[in-house]
């Protein structure tokens, strides 16, 4: 087992701490295939220590005034920015995405700490009129307590910040479990949190796999769960969490819709962008493109032209905009979806294979498939890879019916120049968010982002003040005069 880049430990109680066990996970770079280090497999005793540290720290932190908490959050944002290049480099090494994307992720993570610091000081309750002239009622927000934060590997630092920034700002404590194969960016970021004066124990990190996450979620000292990951895992976590508070951000298979009056070039560029950013390993990536039959052939030509601008390669090369996939599981899923599409008569127009002569077998070519059948894996499951799967339908009603057939309605996009049509699609597409005239893969840190009810994509919202509301309890006070 190699130990570069450093003999990495857990982060518990404000410091890098050795595990009480001696089992370790190796970590391999998807870009180079080299072993880049190892992390301990957390034991039950490690989980107990992290939860105890969090609970103890939270009691004092929850009582600090919001301006003090906001000052610390601003300091974290500054400290992350100060280490931006180190963090971005580590993230690209362990995750595989192009360095320029990692730089954007670090900048966005830092901004989240500033944003939530500012949101928290404006989080006000209300005074509520009573039916009794001698009663007064009012509401305010209290931290929930200690959160288990379970994150995925596609945005290691950003997903950490999406929960920890609002959680800290509102007085919560956290035990974070990143996946064991992308642990280093978050562990390195803990140095920035310590530099910024985050009190010991408020944020603990235990990298690990499913069993560590399950033990953490079910731990009696954990009050609430923040999860970002697949719908299948989300369902298991919710079964373990029982009545604990939860925010669940799960898989997506949202459609990108192209209506006949759309700017086809713009729509094609957006479809391709949503397939190559983070190698399509994004919950709101281009998963299904549904184009009106009247413009289908022109749109396909435009997609192929846009795809010519994609450069697959070394993620540290500034010319690269498509890096390797993160792991063999995702690459195998792409192979499976391409094979299934082929069996069901789809036309492979580009890519559909791993590029040979690369340092690993994870370099997947940007893939364009046309004539995708509605019951194929491309259409019914999240592909989570660099692919633009195209289907045609005749008219708005048929497009809506096809678009809403799949349950994973997280985020959709619609391209049209007609305002009334845009409104109709925003209202009738069954997804959490609908973007008009931009990629499904567009978001803003101030945008409430999450799944549509009953669609298997989770609940709760990440973004802006909505995460603060999700990570706090609305407390009501009532006084008899």
Chain residues binding ligand NAD by CB under 6 A are 150-154, 177, 179, 209-210, 213-214, 217, 228-230, 233, 236-237, 249-252, 283, 382, 384, 410, 458
Taking the chain, what is the end-to-end CA distance rounded to the nearest angstrom? 69
Selected catalytic residue, list 101, 108, 162, 249: 249
Which has the closest alpha carbon to 374: 283, 289, 258? 289
Q: What residue number has its CB nearest to ligand NAD?
A: 213
User: Where would I find the beta strands (DSSP E) of 276-361?
Assistant: 288-292, 347-350
Cβ proximity of 472 and 142 under 8 Å: yes
User: Shortest Cβ distance from residue 186 to ligand NAD (Å)?
Assistant: 11
Encoding tokens for residue 201? 């124990």
User: Shortest Cβ distance from residue 142 to ligand NAD (Å)?
Assistant: 25
- Say which DSSP state 85 is in: H
**Torsional sign, CA 184, 189, 195, 201:** negative
User: Shortest Cβ distance from residue 20 to ligand NAD (Å)?
Assistant: 20
Encoding tokens for residue 431? 């997804």
Q: In this complex, which beta carbon is closest to ligand NAD, that of residue 112 or of residue 291? A: 112
> Which H or E element spans position 225?
strand 224-228
User: Taking CA 478 as the corner, what is the angle to CA 473 and CA 480, rounded to the nearest 5 degrees?
Assistant: 170
* Cross-strand pairs, 257: 290, 414
Phi-psi region of 454 (alpha: psi -120 to 50; beta: other; left: phi over 0): left
Encoding tokens for residue 127? 């005074």
Nearest-angstrom CA–CA distance, 168 and 163: 9
Encoding tokens for residue 139? 């509401």
Which has the closest alpha carbon to 413: 273, 270, 306? 270
User: Shortest Cβ distance from residue 53 to ligand NAD (Å)?
Assistant: 20
User: Shortest Cβ distance from residue 395 to ligand NAD (Å)?
Assistant: 30
Q: In this complex, which beta carbon is closest to ligand NAD, that of residue 101 or of residue 382? A: 382
Q: In this complex, which beta carbon is closest to ligand NAD, that of residue 106 or of residue 268? A: 106
Q: Is 361 noted as a catalytic residue in this protein?
A: no
Q: In this complex, which beta carbon is closest to ligand NAD, that of residue 283 or of residue 471? A: 283
What is the side-by-side strand order in the sheet with 15-17?
15-17, 10-12, 203-205, 173-177, 146-150, 224-228, 245-249, 458-459
Q: In this complex, which beta carbon is closest to ligand NAD, that of residue 171 or of residue 460? A: 460
Helix count and strand count (H, E) for the chain:
15, 20
Q: In this complex, which beta carbon is closest to ligand NAD, that of residue 51 or of residue 259? A: 51
Contacts of 133 (CB under 8 A, 6+ apart): none
Nearest-angstrom CA–CA distance, 336 and 283: 19
User: Shortest Cβ distance from residue 225 to ligand NAD (Å)?
Assistant: 9
* Cross-strand pairs, 407: none
- Say which DSSP state 293 is in: G
Q: In this complex, which beta carbon is closest to ligand NAD, that of residue 40 or of residue 152? A: 152
* Cross-strand pairs, 479: 136
**Torsional sign, CA 226, 231, 233, 237:** positive
* Cross-strand pairs, 37: 27
User: Shortest Cβ distance from residue 436 to ligand NAD (Å)?
Assistant: 20
User: Shortest Cβ distance from residue 60 to ligand NAD (Å)?
Assistant: 28
Selected catalytic residue, list 283, 284, 365, 441: 283
User: Shortest Cβ distance from residue 203 to ligand NAD (Å)?
Assistant: 16
Which has the closest alpha carbon to 22: 1, 4, 6? 1
Cβ proximity of 147 and 172 under 8 Å: yes
Q: In this complex, which beta carbon is closest to ligand NAD, that of residue 211 or of residue 309? A: 211
Q: Is 250 noted as a catalytic residue in this protein?
A: no
Q: Which are the catalytic amino acids?
A: 249, 283
């Amino acid at each position: 087992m190699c130990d570069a880049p450093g003999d990495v430990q857990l982060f518990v109680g404000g410091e890098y701490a050795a595990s009480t066990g001696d089992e370790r996970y190796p970590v391999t770079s998807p870009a180079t295939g080299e072993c880049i280090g190892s992390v301990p497999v957390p034991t039950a005793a490690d989980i107990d220590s992290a939860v105890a540290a969090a609970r103890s720290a939270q009691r004092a932190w929850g009582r600090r005034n919001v301006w003090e908490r906001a000052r610390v959050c601003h300091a974290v944002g500054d400290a992350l920015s100060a280490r931006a290049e180190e963090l971005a480099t580590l993230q690209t090494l362990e995750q595989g995405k192009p360095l320029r994307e990692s730089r954007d992720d670090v900048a966005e993570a830092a901004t989240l700490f500033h944003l939530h610091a500012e949101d928290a000081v404006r989080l006000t309750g209300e005074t509520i009129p009573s039916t009794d002239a001698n009663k007064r009622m009012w509401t305010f927000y209290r931290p929930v307590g200690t959160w288990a934060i379970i994150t995925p590997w596609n945005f290691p630092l950003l997903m950490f910040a999406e929960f920890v920034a609002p959680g800290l700002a509102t007085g919560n404590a956290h035990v974070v479990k990143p996946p064991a194969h992308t642990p280093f960016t978050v562990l390195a970021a803990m140095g920035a949190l310590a530099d910024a004066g985050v009190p010991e124990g408020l944020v603990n990190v235990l990298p690990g796999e499913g069993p560590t996450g399950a033990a953490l979620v079910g731990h009696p000292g954990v009050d609430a769960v923040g999860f970002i990951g697949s719908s299948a895992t989300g369902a298991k976590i919710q079964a373990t969490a029982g009545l604990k508070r939860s925010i669940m951000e799960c898989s997506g298979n949202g459609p990108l819709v192209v209506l006949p009056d759309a700017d086809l070039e713009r729509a094609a560029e957006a479809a391709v962008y949503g397939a190559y950013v983070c190698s399509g390993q994004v919950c709101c990536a281009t998963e299904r493109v549904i184009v009106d039959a009247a413009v289908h052939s022109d749109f396909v030509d435009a997609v192929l032209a846009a795809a010519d601008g994609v450069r697959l390669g070394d993620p540290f090369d500034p010319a690269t905009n498509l890096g390797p996939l993160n792991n063999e599981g995702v690459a195998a899923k792409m192979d499976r979806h391409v094979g299934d599409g082929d069996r069901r008569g789809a036309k492979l127009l580009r890519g559909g294979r791993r590029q040979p002569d690369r340092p690993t077998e994870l370099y997947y070519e940007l893939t364009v498939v046309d004539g995708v059948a509605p019951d194929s894996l491309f259409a019914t499951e999240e592909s989570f890879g660099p692919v633009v799967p195209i289907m045609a339908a005749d008219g708005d009603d048929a497009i809506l019916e096809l678009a809403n057939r799949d349950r994973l309605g997280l985020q959709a996009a619609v391209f049209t120049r007609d305002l009334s049509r845009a409104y109709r699609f925003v209202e009738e597409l069954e997804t959490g968010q609908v973007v008009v005239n931009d990629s499904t893969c567009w978001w803003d840190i101030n945008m409430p982002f999450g799944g549509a009810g009953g669609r298997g994509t989770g609940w709760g919202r990440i973004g802006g003040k909505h995460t603060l509301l999700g990570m706090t309890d609305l407390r009501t006070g009532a006084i008899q005069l």
